[in-house]
Amino acid sequence: MDNFALLRESYTRGGLLEDAASSDPWVQFESWFQEAVSAGLREPNAMTLATATPNARIVLMKGYSPDGVVFYTNYESAKGREIEANPCVALLFFWRELERQVRIRGTAARISREETLAYFRSRPPGSQMGAAISPQSQVIPDRAWLESRLASMGEGEVALPENWGGFRVRVSEFEFWQGRPCRLHDRLRYRLAAGAWVRERLAP
């Protein structure tokens, strides 16, 4: 397609005004995430994870609370190593159908092994096996190598791989973006200052 630069959407679905938005960004996040779920979006929990290398990829949010946002991965993957080197990360949700994005900044830290184990046990057996046999982000010879490793896995319970687990991103900043007509979008930023959330409106 030659003329994709001409593709242009007008955002008309809603607004985000101070009176209606919560003063607590976690309450606001809960409300928008639930709306994304109710709208039937596919994988509304898919988020871009940016590490400070810089590098970016999609991961799935598997939990959130005022303690942070949790995702699971291989600790020896590129992202795992990058977080060990510099725990500053950004998360990004894009809910296109709702004309919304949520930007999050914070620091990532490993969760406890107990919490990881509880989640690992809840995964389907195929996912447990995939996590166990894949040296994520390493160069491998070919697809057959991976499949033979899978085939060599025995029956029965899969042990939690040492190098696999969760990270929790402690959040220091949120930005909620709602598309509006004429590119005059609403942007509310919440940043932690001396332990309290400060809310500010940013120019679009």
Ligand X SMILES: Cc1cc2nc3c(=O)[nH]c(=O)nc-3n(C[C@H](O)[C@H](O)[C@H](O)COP(=O)(O)O)c2cc1C
**Smallest distance from the beta carbon of 4 to ligand X, in angstroms?**
22
Interface residues for ligand X in 128-167 (CB under 6 A)? 136-137
Spatial CA neighbour of 26 closest among 68, 56, 63, 78: 68
Spatial CA neighbour of 165 closest among 131, 135, 139: 131
57 touching ligand X, by CB under 6 A: yes
CB burial string 131-167: b at 16+ within 10 A, e below: bbbbebeeeeeeeeeeeebeeeeeeeebebbeebbbb
- Catalytically active residues are 183
**Smallest distance from the beta carbon of 67 to ligand X, in angstroms?**
19
**Smallest distance from the beta carbon of 84 to ligand X, in angstroms?**
12
Window 164-193: contact mask with ligand X (x via CB under 6 A): ------------------------------
Interface residues for ligand X in 67-86 (CB under 6 A)? 71-73, 77-79
53 touching ligand X, by CB under 6 A: no
Single residue of 41, 46, 92, 153 touching ligand X by CB under 6 A: 46
**Smallest distance from the beta carbon of 71 to ligand X, in angstroms?**
5
The answer for residues whose C-beta is within 8 angstroms of residue 32's C-beta and 6 or more apart is 95, 98, 100, 102, 176
What token pair was written down for 157?
């319970």
Single residue of 18, 24, 43, 67 touching ligand X by CB under 6 A: 43
Looking up tokens 């994870």 gives 49
Give the nearer residue to ligand X in terms of CB position, either 17 or 60.
Answer: 60
Q: Tell me the number of residues near ligand X by CB under 6 A.
A: 15
Q: Is 182 left (phi over 0), alpha (psi -120 to 50) or beta?
A: left
Q: Answer for the pair 183, 14: CB distance below 8 angstroms, yes or no.
A: no
What is the distance between the alpha carbons of residues 72 and 199, in angstroms, rounded to a whole number?
30
Using CB under 6 A, list all residues that contact ligand X.
Answer: 43, 46, 55, 57-60, 71-73, 77-79, 136-137
